[in-house]
Structure 1
Amino acid sequence: MRGKELIDISNKLQLPKIQPATAEKYLNRLKVFYDWLVGQGLIKSNPFNGLKPKKRNKKTINERKAYTEQHINMILSKNDFNEKNIEYRWWIILIAIEMGLRQNEISQLYKDDVVKEDGIWCIKIQEKREDQRIKNIFSERTVPIPNSLLKLGILKYINSKSSRIFPELKYYEDDGYAKLFSKWFSYNKKKWGFNEGYTFHSFRHYFVNKLKQSQIEESIVSEIVGHEHVSHTYGRYGKEYSIKKLKKIIDNNSSISIKKILTKRKINKLRTMIRFGL
C-alpha cells in the first residue's frame, strides 16, 4: 500500500496521530542513518533529505496544555503512588511540579547531582556522565530545591539511594532513562481523564505559567527552566542570578496542592502527639 492509502485508512479508523515534534524526531534519525549509508557507498542519495513534517497550524502556546492547580490536586490524590516500590514515581512528579525540570532531566539524576551552593540544596542539571543528556547548552543549570520538597523529605529519599536517585528506570540508548516512566505516565494520564493535549511536559507548562502569572521577569524564568535568554543583552552580558534569589522565587510560587499535603501531614503529626501525650 502507498503511504497516502495508509493515511486514509488510519483517518477512517480514527487512529491517533503522532505530534509534529515526534515526526520531526523520527525523520531526523532516518536522515542521519541514510546519510551514513550514502557515506558508506551503499546507496547513492538520501531519500529523506528535504522532508519535513506538516507545518503547525496552531500557536506554539496552544500546542501543549498546562495542568491547572485543580489538575495537580487531582493527580496527587490518586492511589497510584502509595506502594513503597513505586514511590519514585511520586518524587518524579513532585520535582516536575515544583521545579519545572524536564522528564529526562529528572530520570537521569545521580545522588551527586544534588549539591549545596551558598548553603542552599540544589539539583544540578548537567551532562557529566555518558548516560546523561541535556537538550542544549542552556539546559545546563543549577536549580534550588524548594522548601516544600525539603519538608516532604526529598533529602531523606535521596540519601537512601546508593548512586542513581531513580535506579528503577532502565537506560535506553535512544531515549535515555525516561522511557519506562513515560510509558507509565502516558497510560495513567488517560486513565485519569486527560486527552492528548496533556503530557508529562504539561507539568513544566504549569510551572512556567505560574511564574508568568506572578509576573516574574522572563530572563529569570529562562534561567530556572533552562531556556535561552530572549534578550540578547541579558543572554550575552548578564550574569546568572543568585541561587538565593532563584530559591525565593520558586518558594513563593509553590503549588497550593502540595502546600495542602504539607498542612495535612502537620495536622496528623499534631494529632498523633496529642493522642500519645507527647
Structure 2
Amino acid sequence: MFLLKDRNATYYARYCFSKDLVEIGFPAELRFSLSTKKRSEAIDRLMVIMSHIRGYVSTWDRDGNIPLTLQRLKSELKAIRQRNFCHVVDAPPLPVKHVLPVLEVKPSVSKHQINKRLLDDFIRSKEVENILPRTIQQLESRIRAFVKFAKANALEATTKHAMDFRDELLRSGKAEKSVIEYLAAARQFYKWLRLRGDLDKNIFEDVSVKRKSRRASEDRQRWTKSDLYKLFKHPSLTPPSKNIVRTQRELEDYWLPHLLLYTGARVSEICQLDTADIKLIEDIWCIDINDIGQDKRLKSASAKRLVPIHPELTNRGFLHYAQTRYENKQQKLFNFRATGVNKDWSARFVNRFGKILDDLGFIASYRPTLHSLRHTFIDELQQSGVAENLVADLVGHTKTNLTFSRYGKRINLTSLYSTVKSLDVL
C-alpha cells in the first residue's frame, strides 16, 4: 500500500525501494507526509509524489553517493510540499563536493554484517584446504569469541583489543593451552586479512602468553608402570580363559589398549584400520597406517607410515584375530565407523575406555588417557636412548631437524622392528 494514515489520521505516502537498491545501501522504504486528512486530496498528492520519486530513481547514477542522493530527493519532496504539491521542483542546489564528512561515507553496513562476511570468507578459504571439520569449527568459534569481545568492526579492531582479549582469557581461568589456541586462531584470521590486502598489520602478531616454567612433556601424563599393571589387570584387558569366546566389543576392548601401547599410534589411526592394513613386508608383520579408504584421515603427511608389530602382540594372538576378520570378509579391523560431521573414528571407544578407568578408580581429569599410551610408548623409547628421528618415523611425527626432514628417507623396516622389539613396557 502506498497510501497510509498516521495516528492523527493524516495521510502519508510510503515508497518501497527495490531489492537491488536495498542491497547496496538504500533504506527499505521512504515515508512522506501528504499534509491532509482528506482521502481524495491525499490520492492526488500521492500521484505527484510517486511520479517524482520513480522518475528520480530511474535517472539516478548507480555510481553516485547514496546518502547524498537520498538527501537531495528528500529536499525535492519537501519543496513539492511547500509548493502545495505542484509538479515544478525548484529545490536549492546541493554542492557537488560533499561538505560534511558524513556524506563521504560509503553505504551504511553494520559491523555485524562486515564481521559475518569476513569470517564466512575466511572459513570458505580454510575449507578448500581440506582441513578437518572439527578444526574449522574450532577456528570459527574462537574467532567469533574475539569479534564478540571487541564489539567492533573486525577491520577496525586494534592491538589494544587483542591485548585486552588475551587478558580476559587469562582472567577467565581457561587453561594455558586453551588461551594459546584462542590467540592462534585470531592470529591466523588476521594474517589472512593482511595477506588478502584488507589490513596492513596483523594485530595479533606480537600478542602471546608467557608459558609457565615447565617442560612440554609435562603437559600430558604418561602411564606409570604401576598404573599400567593396574590397567591391564582389568577383566576387559586380560587374556580370555581357554574355550571362552569373546564378543566383538570385548575383543575391541582388549586389543585397542594393547595396540596403542605397543605401536604408539593415535587412537583414531587404530580405530580406522582395515584388515588389509595388516601386512607382511620383508618378512616383518606391519601395520600400514594410511588414509586410503572412505573417511580415513591422517593428521599430517608424516602420519602415513609402517609400524612393525611388537612380538608381544603376536604372542597374544593379534595376527590370528586379524586373519579371522579377513577370512570372515570383514573390511574393517574393528567395528568402528566415522561418526558425526567431524567423521570421528574414536569417540565411541574413548567413552567405553573411560568406563574402564572409572571401574578401576581413576579420577577423571587427573588420570592418564588412551592418548597417554602414545606418550608412554614415546617416553619409554626416549628413556632407552633411541634416536629421536627413529621414534619420529614410528609415531608419525614431522622431523624438526632440517637434515633429516628434508634429506633423510624413511628408516628401513629392520631397524624399526629392532626398536619396537626392544620395548619392554609391562
Q: Do both proteins adopt the same fold according to a TM-score greater than 0.5, normalized to the shorter chain? A: yes
1:95 aligns with 2:294: no
Report the secondary structure of 1:121's partner residue. strand
Aligned match of 1:111: 275
Q: Which amino acid aligns with 1:104?
A: S
Partner residue of 1:200 out of 359, 367, 370: 370
After superposition, what is the alpha-carbon deviation per residue over 1:2-41, rounded to whole angstroms, capped at 9, x for unaligned? 99xxx9xx98xxxxx788469949x96xx99xx9xxxxxx
CA distance in 1 between partners of 2:417 and 2:363 (Å): 31
Cα gap change, 1:107 to 1:240, in 2 (>3 Å): same
Q: What is the CA distance between 1:195 and its match in structure 2? A: 4.4
Q: What is the CA distance between 1:54 and its match in structure 2? A: 7.1
Partner residue of 2:386 out of 216, 221, 225: 216
Report the secondary structure of 1:160's partner residue. helix
Aligned length: 235
Aligned match of 2:405: 235
CA distance in 1 between partners of 2:339 and 2:180 (Å): 23
CA distance in 2 between partners of 1:173 and 1:254 (Å): 39
Alignment map for 1:1-278 (pairs within 5 Å): 20=177, 24=181, 57=212, 58-81=214-237, 83-84=246-247, 85-161=249-325, 162-169=330-337, 171-192=339-360, 193-197=362-366, 198-255=368-425, 257=426
Report the secondary structure of 2:236's partner residue. coil
CA contact (8 A) 1:224 1:246 kept: yes
CA distance in 1 between partners of 2:297 and 2:414 (Å): 26
Q: Which amino acid aligns with 1:184?
A: R
Cα gap change, 1:160 to 1:173, in 2 (>3 Å): farther
Q: What is the CA distance between 1:211 and its match in structure 2? A: 0.3
Q: TM-score, normalised by structure 1?
A: 0.72
Q: Which amino acid aligns with 2:353?
A: F
> How well do the aligned residues superpose, as a CA RMSD in angstroms?
3.5
State percent identity of aligned pairs: 24
After superposition, what is the alpha-carbon deviation per residue over 1:69-108, rounded to whole angstroms, capped at 9, x for unaligned? 2211111100234653421121110001111010000000
Of 129-138 and 214-223, the range deviating more from structure 2: 129-138
After superposition, what is the alpha-carbon deviation per residue over 1:103-131, rounded to whole angstroms, capped at 9, x for unaligned? 00000000111111111110111111231
Cα gap change, 1:128 to 1:156, in 2 (>3 Å): same
Contiguous gaps of at least 5 residues in structure 1: 12-16, 36-48, 258-278
CA contact (8 A) 1:170 1:180 kept: no
Cα gap change, 1:130 to 1:168, in 2 (>3 Å): closer
Of 127-136 and 78-87, the range deviating more from structure 2: 78-87
CA distance in 1 between partners of 2:390 and 2:279 (Å): 21
After superposition, what is the alpha-carbon deviation per residue over 1:193-252, rounded to whole angstroms, capped at 9, x for unaligned? 144252211101110011001000001001101111121111111221111111111111
